[in-house]
């Protein structure tokens, strides 16, 4: 099991800048990261939460993206990096 810290409103996974981590092995490690983010005043207690990753995948939001190659609208995770998005030019370049 792994745990994530995510923004409540957008459901984006929050990266801890100091360590570059987005997933934590234990709930305690994720809660400690959340506390560090709150103490640095990046977020308030109401803005971010800790969740087990598989449970998080059930609530993660999807956004519509226009596929640059076909022009069709597809649903993509809010956590998809720009370079991995079918709506970006970088995805379609060799």
Residue among 7, 84, 10, 46 nearest 92 (CA): 84
The DSSP secondary-structure symbol of 43 reads S
Domain that holds residue 44: 3-59
Q: What is the distance of C-alpha 82 from the center of its chain?
A: 13
Residues 55 and 67 occupy one common structural domain: no
Per-residue pLDDT of 12-36, as tens digits, reads 999 988 778 899 999 999 999 999 9
What predicted TM-score, i.e. pTM, was given to this entire model?
A: 0.84
Per-residue pLDDT of 53-83, as tens digits, reads 999 999 999 999 999 999 999 999 999 998 8
Residues 9 and 47 occupy one common structural domain: yes
Residues 50 and 68 occupy one common structural domain: no
- pLDDT number for residue 94: 62
Residues 54 and 8 occupy one common structural domain: yes
Residues 45 and 7 occupy one common structural domain: yes
Residues 43 and 77 occupy one common structural domain: no
């Amino acid at each position: 099991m792994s745990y994530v810290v995510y923004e409540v409103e957008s459901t984006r996974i929050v990266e801890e800048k100091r360590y570059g981590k987005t997933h934590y092995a234990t709930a305690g490690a994720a809660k400690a990261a959340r506390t560090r983010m709150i103490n640095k005043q990046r977020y308030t207690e109401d803005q971010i939460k800790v969740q087990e990753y598989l449970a998080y995948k059930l609530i993660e939001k999807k956004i519509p993206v226009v596929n640059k190659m076909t022009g069709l609208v597809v649903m993509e995770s809010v956590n998809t990096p720009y370079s991995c998005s079918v709506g970006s030019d970088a995805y379609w370049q060799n």
